[in-house]
A and B are shown apart, each in its own frame.
Chain A
Amino acid sequence: QKEVEQNSGPLSVPEGAIASLNCTYSDRGSQSFFWYRQYSGKSPELIMFIYSNGDKEDGRFTAQLNKASQYVSLLIRDSQPSDSATYLCAVNWGTGNQFYFGTGTSLTVIP
């Protein structure tokens, strides 16, 4: 049983702070990890992906992967009210395979 776990939140941070979102997964064979942002009533939009241990930075976003601990996180620096959304973690067990999604973490950035 492949599972992806996220804390559903809600997570609230003040504007300008760092938001930290966490995700754990069950299968050590997992290969690729994706973070999507989803605004209410909208479809998921890709933030970034990571498949190597360590950190990957893209603008205000940093993804961190630790395959030994089966853990992937997303840090959002200088959080903005427009970052308020649900953040979905997705795991791919191989190319061409389906993504397994967590239930998402709701983030609210307070002005």
Chain B
Amino acid sequence: DTGVSQNPRHKITKRGQNVTFRCDPISEHNRLYWYRQTLGQGPEFLTYFQNEAQLEKSRLLSDRFSAERPKGSFSTLEIQRTEQGDSAMYLCASSLMDSSDTQYFGPGTRLTVL
């Protein structure tokens, strides 16, 4: 049984560069979520997919952020023109469309913008 996987686990980039992260959910899960977490805070919602459809996007999410889930399986999160304030842990979670809708998290991608 494989859980949620994320790649890369760590990314260091210079301000202004673009970065892309990948998330592979648990295979039978049709819902996929992206969160961002900074030190001392709980995860903050970014966006959510059901199958390939992006159903919700945080109003706090800058237009520099874009996410895709083209075939309803893996997802990518791209950040364009990175800023130092983008430095955070980016977490992916997936869930099965059942009564509990429990979200299971991947190991995260830690982004450092220099």
Contact = CB atoms under 8 A, between A and B. Distances in A.
Interface stretch (B11-19, B65-73, B75-83, B104-112): B104-112
Contact of B33 (A32, A95, A98, A104): A98
Contacts of A60: none
B85 interface: no
Given A95-B97, A96-B55, A101 B43 contact: yes
B101 A32 contact: yes
A96 B31 contact: yes
Interface residues of B, number: 26
Interface residues of A, number: 25
Contact of A49 (B100, B105, B108): B100
B41 interface: yes
B103 interface: yes
A98 B58 CA distance: 10
Contacts of A90: 42, 103
Interface of B: 31, 33, 40-45, 48, 50, 55-56, 58, 89, 91, 97, 99-108
